[in-house]
Amino acid sequence: MANTFLTPSMIARQALANLYETTVMSQLVYRDYEDEFVSRIGDTITIRKPAKFEAKDFDRETGIEIQNAVEGKIPITLDRFADVSFAVSSEELTLDIVDFNAQLLAPATEAIAQKIDRDILSLRADVMHRQVGLNTDTTEAFRYANPRTAIAARRVLNQANVPSTDRYIVVGPEQEALWLSDDLFNRADARGDTEGLREANLGRRVFGFDSYQTQNIKEPEFLPTDPAGTELPDHEIGVAFHRTAFALVTRPLVLPQGAANAHVESYKGFGLRVVMDYDISKKQDIVSIDCLYGVKTLDENRAVVLTSGTTKTKA
């Protein structure tokens, strides 16, 4: 049975469910789950980094040595403001939420999810000096990292004493096609949590990494050159990292004053705001969905980029 009118709360709940299910990188990086409202873009908050301890040799005579569980803190500026606003007709606002979601809401939240993932991937710029790869002889082969690059990535992270759990590799569509044809990816069980992760998951755990694919892996600012010095516009720069290498923080915005038809929804660190209004100049209803967030590199030693060129990080 169709709803008499879709409300901001109904739209916000479905939009947030869509966002949570379709993100890839957002599910793999460190998240801060404390609920906290912020007033505007550019606000800075402080998140807690995981505590670090040192295993000590036990001496029965002196007893145990108490260590302070001091959590590191790092500021993150909420300077990313994703917005999708669109006009809707009265007929569309009386649709069942399932139909409204399929026609309008799902594409809108998919755009926000992709933007968040691209912004997280932009943090590769902080670790471009930490590259692993294999030497190649041809320009075509140089574009994409061999799946065995994961071995070199594992070595670099091991040498940095990075925990062996919660390690991930993310590659682009061309690399995915290459990797899936390799025997290394025919000997492991599939993993995945949300629908987005299940779709992105390459179905294999290789050399201690859970592997994923995203179409957002290409970034023009990371364009390398082949051995002859020619720029490679379709080069894909993958990344291997521990969950605590990068951070994403999202915060629901406060409801705007004077906007009676608005709602904020949050779930597991994600926050979305939906505001509905009427544009008198064009005589149409507007649905506006937005999300405020920030991304930051927490520890560059816990990530390494994957290329097909010569390894550039020190052993």
Of 91-95, 127-131, 199-203, where does mean pLDDT reach its minimum?
A: 199-203
Q: Is the pLDDT of residue 36 over 90?
A: no
47's enclosing H/E stretch is: strand 44-48
Positive or negative, the CA dihedral 207, 306, 201, 162 is positive
Which residues contact residue 7 at a Cβ distance below 8 angstroms, ignoring those fewer than 6 apart? 261, 263
Highest mean pLDDT among 43-47, 225-229, 256-260, 291-295: 291-295
What is the residue-averaged pLDDT of the chain? 77
3-state SS string for 215-262? HHHCCHHHCCECCCCCECCCCCCEEEEEHHHEEEEEECECCCCCCCCE
CATH numeric code, 127-246+300-306? 3.30.2320
Contact by Cβ (8 Å): 135, 152: no
pLDDT band at 71 (very low <50, low <70, confident <90, very high): low
The domains of the chain are located at 8-51+71-121+247-293, 127-246+300-306
Q: Is the pLDDT of residue 186 over 70?
A: no
What was the pLDDT predicted at 220? 43
pLDDT band at 178 (very low <50, low <70, confident <90, very high): confident
pLDDT band at 198 (very low <50, low <70, confident <90, very high): low
The predicted-structure confidence for 221-272, as pLDDT tens digits, reads as follows 545 555 555 555 457 788 999 999 999 988 877 777 766 788 888 777 778 8
Of 43-52, 73-82, 99-108, 294-303, where does mean pLDDT reach its minimum?
A: 43-52
What was the pLDDT predicted at 204? 60
pLDDT band at 133 (very low <50, low <70, confident <90, very high): confident
What was the pLDDT predicted at 187? 56
Give the residue carrying structure tokens 């801060």.
32
pLDDT band at 139 (very low <50, low <70, confident <90, very high): very low
120's enclosing H/E stretch is: helix 106-121
Of 36-40, 48-52, 173-177, 193-197, where does mean pLDDT reach its minimum?
A: 193-197
Q: Is the pLDDT of residue 24 over 60?
A: yes
Positive or negative, the CA dihedral 137, 138, 144, 148 is negative
What share of the chain has pLDDT > 70, as a percent? 73
pLDDT band at 145 (very low <50, low <70, confident <90, very high): low
94's enclosing H/E stretch is: none
pLDDT band at 35 (very low <50, low <70, confident <90, very high): low
The more confident residue out of 262 and 309 is 262
What was the pLDDT predicted at 134? 59
